[in-house]
Amino acid sequence: MRRVKMSVGAAPLREQRTWAYPNGEKLGQFLIPVYDCFVEGTDDDGTAVRERFDVLRFGVHCPDGKSAGVVGLANQQTHTIKAWLPHYRVHSARSPENGAWQVYKNFLIHDGPDDASELFATIGCVEVMGPQGFVKFNDLLISLSGCSSETRDQQLDEIGRAGSMSIMYARAPRPALKKAR
């Protein structure tokens, strides 16, 4: 298996609407920053590849239905991807793009909103944005990994077990809690 490196940036690109997960729908909507995520590796021909995706990396958490706070990984850190979780389903919105990569404990990489009108909530997972964004993301990971399994499900599982994929979070200031207008 070839090494694949991901890096999540620290400079906000724009804002995305969200709600406070899991019990904060009555608190209204909030704005969280969108960041870039680069995926780098080498394809089957030995050519270096680097592609960019828009992602969410911070979210708004409301465990009690009354108060909300911004959560997510703010310090610079690098993690080896622990596993592919094929049965994971996004909890805060409808999504046909199932599965998730386990980064660290409950911090995952999974599908996110397709556009500015789609409302997803997050509590610090990296959520890959854009129409079929998570599918395109996973297609890229498969193409860069050099995995040998036949089916897509087997390929994703093989990549998750290989320990050859990592993600680096750039140090980013935790954004302020910001109500949407």
Parent domain of 140? 4-169
For residue 104, being part of any structural domain is answered with yes
For residue 30, being part of any structural domain is answered with yes
Q: What is the pLDDT of residue 93?
A: 84
Among residues 138, 96, 100, 119, the alpha carbon closest in space to that of 24 is found at 119
Low-confidence residues in the chain, pLDDT < 70? none
Q: What is the pLDDT of residue 71?
A: 97
Does this model's pTM top 0.85?
A: yes
For residues 101 and 127, is the Cβ–Cβ distance under 8 A? no
Residue 37 is encoded by which pair of tokens? 């995520």
Q: What's the domain count of the chain? A: 1
DSSP-derived letter for residue 176 is P
Q: What is the pLDDT of residue 92?
A: 86
For residue 8, being part of any structural domain is answered with yes
Number of H helices, E strands in the chain: 2, 12
For residue 74, being part of any structural domain is answered with yes
For residue 179, being part of any structural domain is answered with no
Vertex 65, ends 62 and 69: CA angle to 5°? 25
SS (H, E, C) 43-112: CCCCCEEEEEEEEECEEEEECCCCCCEEEECCCCEEEECCEEECCCCCCCCCCCCCCEEEEECCEEEEEC
For residue 146, being part of any structural domain is answered with yes
d(CA 168, CA 57): 12
d(CA 93, CA 26): 16
For residue 90, being part of any structural domain is answered with yes
pLDDT digit string, tens, across residues 21-63: 999 999 999 999 999 999 999 999 999 999 999 999 999 999 9
At position 36, the amino acid (one-letter code) is: D
Q: What is the pLDDT of residue 15?
A: 97
For residue 93, being part of any structural domain is answered with yes
Q: What is the pLDDT of residue 13?
A: 98
